[in-house]
Structure 1
Amino acid sequence: MLHNPVLDKSPAPRLMIGRPELALIGVTVLWGATFLIVHHAMSLSGPLFFVGLRFGTASLLALPLALPVLRGLTLRELMAGGLIGVGIFTGYTLQTWGLQTISSSSSAFITAAYVPLVPIMQWVILRRRPRLMSWIGVVLAFAGLLLVAAPRDGLSLGKGEALTLISTVAIALEIIFISLWAGKVDVARVTLVQLATTALLAFALMAPVGEAIPPFSWTVILSACGLGAMTALIQFVMNWAQRTVSPTRATLIYAGEPVWAGIIGRIAGDRLPPTALVGGLLIVAAVIVSELKFERRGKD
């Protein structure tokens, strides 16, 4: 996930729903569908090969956009893209690994907890104290995670839930890394570097961890390459739409990602218990609440 709904600055929210908002809604539906696609592909492929193929495809699609300005690549951009790529690699690999053992709906709801986590990571790394609503969002997200991650086994976390939960830390760090270099680097060059870094790390670590190249499968190829194309398309649409859509409005739209994943998962036969559904709603509420801002009215 390369968007930055917490830190981006945009014009004030509008009441009408125009083409940018509709485009972001479409992006959110696509995001929701990716969890189910990866979940099914994990029965045929290891996580590292799948992540490498997915982001390798995205890198090839991003190359034509970055090629005209690639000669100007600086050491700062290489470092920025590399660190962001490490965050993306860690987050997506752990999330994909977790999808081997948990449902697409559970993964989507747990992953959404990265949004209220970002202000806490900002406090630790950038010394920016979170607002009250951010703390409330964290509490709601924590309560929701307990219900989603352990609906049948008390408070114990399974391997898949734990890996997905750790992945949210990497995703939050990715967003903070993006904010550190925002406005200081060329977006096309850094995007290419971060996508390529993710793919190279995934393929390079296959041998050390003992993951073999899976038998040829059109399901794996089409799923990974299709998700790579979706990654490139989503990034382009978000960069276009968030020029006019405020970060708060965008976050409210993005909060629908796990909801769409749950709907698509249910159509495909995924049935979450009632406690997990309540937990999912708490996490969505946490995403929304963490973005609310209240301004004090001046005295008349």
Structure 2
Amino acid sequence: MAEILLLMLALVWGTSYGVTKQALLWFPLLGFLTLRFALTFLLLAPALWSALKNDRRDCLQAGLPLGVLLWAIFVCETKGVALTSAANAAFLISLCIVLTPWLEWAFTRRRPDAGMALAALVCCLGTFLLVGGGLGFGAGDAWMLAAAILRALMVCLSQRLLSGSRLSLLAVTGLQTGVPACLCALLWWCEGKPLPALPANPGFWLALAYLVLFCTLFAFFVQNWAVRRCSPSRVVVLTGSEPLFGALFASAVLGEILSLQGAMGGGLIFLATLWVSLTGKAKAKPVSRARPAVPEV
């Protein structure tokens, strides 16, 4: 079940780049991010309110650092994409797949599994081929590398904070998205730009609804749910198929052409995720039995 949901997460995240690109034709970036996270927060506010009444301290201790990390990831990715090529950005963000096993080792004192480490390397090689190779390195690439490190850190920290926890995952996800909503709004205000009128184009609102419901609410809930059951390395390798789904979406919907080299890279990503999906289930981290079972939401 975890494998299927994580692959669905990779699918929606892979399509999010093309959808976001279209939405940004009608509204500025910081304003759009504020809307995206604020609407997600409002949808999850009832669950968060209930959790804050019962477990205020634990909920804040988990949700606030994860929210700040999520905001930092989006800031780094946004600056990186603006300053480097799409190929460099896609490859460098995928390095979180390789970085996660080593960060997990630092968190848990357990050596990375050899098969998982190999699958992570194959995923990165596949992404390198998928985006066309020929990478340079500049300021934008440094921002993307920082985003990759922060992504790996967020998955490892999520497991540390949520594994065995009795907290409502909907509440944690709500707080996790509320923090970047506030910080993006603050950055927008600090820029001193006038508040633009909300677009009337239905395409903008359809794109926003898709990103809120599937790429934010569903995606981060699934990631938080999965880290209670799987190792961080397993989570990032399975979601590492995101560039493959992004390339397929760009080819099928946006009309971009996938080269033979790109197809080979996509095949490597597919084989790596298939390997992880079909093997190593016994090493997936189970839910802690130290506390009584509680509803997942």
Q: Which residue of 1 aligns with 2:249?
A: 264
Is the helix fraction higher in 1 or 2? 2
TM-score (norm 1): 0.70
Q: Confirm whether residue 227 of structure 1 aligns to residue 211 of structure 2.
A: yes
Structure 1 counterpart of 2:167, from 178, 183, 186? 186
Q: 1:109, CA displacement in angstroms?
A: 6.3
SS, match of residue 157 in structure 2: helix
1:1-300 correspondence to structure 2 within 5 Å: 26-99=8-81, 102-103=85-86, 111-148=93-130, 151=133, 154-157=134-137, 163-182=143-162, 183-187=164-168, 188-208=170-190, 213-214=195-196, 216-217=198-199, 218=201, 219-230=203-214, 231-235=216-220, 254-267=239-252, 268-285=254-271, 292-293=279-280
> Are the structure 2 counterparts of residues 171 and 77 from structure 1 closer, same or farther at C-alpha, using a change threshold of 3 Å?
same
Identical aligned residues as a percent: 25
Given that 1:108 and 1:261 are in contact with CA atoms closer than 8 Å, whether structure 2 keeps it comes out as no
Q: 1:284, CA displacement in angstroms?
A: 4.9
SS, match of residue 205 in structure 1: helix
> Are the structure 2 counterparts of residues 234 and 123 from structure 1 closer, same or farther at C-alpha, using a change threshold of 3 Å?
closer
Given that 1:135 and 1:290 are in contact with CA atoms closer than 8 Å, whether structure 2 keeps it comes out as no
SS, match of residue 74 in structure 1: helix
Q: 1:185, CA displacement in angstroms?
A: 4.8
| Larger relative contact order, structure 1 or 2 (CA cutoff 8 Å, min sep 6) | 1
Structure 1: gaps of 5 or more residues: 1-17, 296-300
Q: 1:67, CA displacement in angstroms?
A: 2.9
CA deviations over 1:53-82 (Å, ceiling 9, x no partner) = 111111111112333333124334212211
Given that 1:118 and 1:176 are in contact with CA atoms closer than 8 Å, whether structure 2 keeps it comes out as yes
TM-score (norm 2): 0.70
Q: 1:119, CA displacement in angstroms?
A: 1.0
Given that 1:73 and 1:189 are in contact with CA atoms closer than 8 Å, whether structure 2 keeps it comes out as no
Given that 1:56 and 1:228 are in contact with CA atoms closer than 8 Å, whether structure 2 keeps it comes out as no
> Are the structure 2 counterparts of residues 117 and 141 from structure 1 closer, same or farther at C-alpha, using a change threshold of 3 Å?
farther
> Are the structure 2 counterparts of residues 79 and 116 from structure 1 closer, same or farther at C-alpha, using a change threshold of 3 Å?
same
